[in-house]
Chains A and B, each alone.
Chain A
Amino acid sequence: MSKPLIGVILGAVLGAIDGLTAWFTPAVRDQLAGIVFGSTVKGIIAGIAIGFFAKKFHSLPLGIVFGLLVGAFLAFLIALMQGGYYFQIVLPGTLVGLIVGFATQKYGNSPSPANS
C-alpha cells in the first residue's frame, strides 16, 4: 500500500476513533456527530500531509517528527475553534499524528525507482 493511502486510511480511522471517545465526556455527548466528523476530516487532512511527506522523505525519525507536528498543529486549530479543552484535544491529536507518521514510514511502500 502506498504511503499516502496508508496515511489517509489511518488518519481517517484514528481520527474517527479519537472523535468517538468524546462519548465518554457527558458535557459534549450531544455534539458527538459533529466531533466525530470534524475529527475524521482532521485525521484525513493530517494523513494526506503525512503520507505525501513520507513519500518524499524516506526517514522514520523525520516521519515521526512531521506527524507529531502536523497532529499537534491541526489539533490546536480545533481546540482554538472550540475555545477550550486544549489539553484534551491537542495531546491526543499529537499522539495520533505521531502514530500516523510512524506507520506511514514503517508500513507504506515506496515507489520503486524507474529503470534508467
Chain B
Amino acid sequence: MNWLSDSKVSHLRAVVGEPDFSGTKYTFVKELARGGMGTVYLAEDTELNREVAIKVLSVPEMTEDLRRRMVREAQIIARLEHPGIVPVHDVGVLPDGRVFYAMKFVRGVRLDEYAANTSSTRERLRKFQAVCDAVAFAHAHGVIHRDLKPQNIMIGSFGEVLVLDWGVAKILRDEISSEADTLMLPPVGNNKASDTAHGTIIGTRQYMSPEQARGEIDQLDERSDIYSLGAVFYFLLTDQAPGENRPRALNPNVSKPAEAICLKAMARDRASRYTTAAEISTDVSRLLDAEPVSAYRENVYEKVSRWVGKNRFLVLLVLAYLLMRIFFIFTSRS
C-alpha cells in the first residue's frame, strides 16, 4: 500500500475546498479571505481576461426562495454605481447550488491595516468621509450595509476608498418591485465574526448597533449603519474596536468635538443618532476645517481657541505688527 505524503494530503484538501466554477466564465486562482457569510476567492474572468473577486455565500440550507432572493439582492446592489462602492460585475449560482457574485478585485489595504501605518488623524478622517459618502449614496438608494467595519473598507493603490462586502445588505426600498425585503440568512457553522441566532443577527458585534445585536431585524434602518459608522470612527480615533471607554479615555489627543461626533453616531437610542450618513460627513468636514460641529456645543474659550488655531498665521502677523508698534512707541519716547 502506498501512503500519501502530507503535502499531497494538504493539496487534496485544498482542491476539495475549492469552489466548482465549471459552467461559469471564471477560473479559480486562489482563496483570498474567509468570513462569516462566505469565502472570497480570486478568480479570472476568461471572457474579459481580467481578475475578479468572487464571493461564494456559505449557506448550508439553501432553499430555492432564499437563492432567488440572494440573487435579487446582488442585482440591486450591482446597481449601486458609486466610486466608493465596489462594483458587482456578475451574479450566479454554482453547480453545487451556492450563490456567488463577482466583484471588482481591489488591490490595496484594509482600513485597519491602513490605520496601522497612518498616524495622521486628518488623513484617516478624510478616508472616513469617503466611507460616509459611499454609505450615504447606498442609503439614498434604499440599501443599508449592515456589516460596516474597518475590515470591510479597502484603501486602493491610489488612495481611493471602497466599501466592500455588500453581501448581507438589506434593501429598505426596492426600486424594482416597490417592496422592502430583508435577507435573513440561516446560521453558518464556525462563525467567528457573527453571533447568529435564529438567522437574524448578521454583522460584527463590536461594530453593530444595539438593535442589530438584539436581532430586531425589522427595526434596522439607515441609523443602524450610522451606529456602525460611528464605531468605525471610534476605531480611527483610538486604534481600538469600540468598547466601554470613551475615545478620549483611550487617546487624550482626540478633541472633544471629534468625541462628540463619535458618541452621537453611536448613541444607544437610535433617535439620538445622526439621521443620515451625509450629516456625519458634514460634521467631519467641519471638524477638519476647524469649524463648529453640530454634535458639540462649545464654550466661548473653545470658540476663541478654535478661531485662533484656524487663523494662526493671521494672529501671528497682527501680534508682530502690535509688538512692532509698541517697540516704536517706546523708542520714540526714550
Contacts and interface: CB of A to CB of B under 8 A. Distances in A.
B317 interface: yes
Contacts of A95: 317, 320-321, 324
A27 B328 CA distance: 13
Contacts of B321: 92, 95-96, 99
Interface residues of A, number: 15
B317 A98 contact: yes
Contacts of B249: none
A82 interface: no
A27 B332 contact: yes
B320 A24 contact: no
Given A25-B332, A92-B325, A102 B314 contact: yes
Interface residues of B, number: 12
Nearest to A23: B329
Interface in B305-334: 313-314, 317-318, 320-321, 324-325, 328-329, 332-333
Interface string A10-21: 000000000001
B329 A99 contact: no
Interface in A69-112: 88, 91-92, 95-96, 98-99, 102-103, 106
A49 to B, nearest CB: 19
Interface of B: 313-314, 317-318, 320-321, 324-325, 328-329, 332-333
7 contacts: A24-B328, A26-B333, A92-B321, A95-B321, A96-B321, A99-B317, A99-B318
Interface of A: 21, 24-27, 88, 91-92, 95-96, 98-99, 102-103, 106
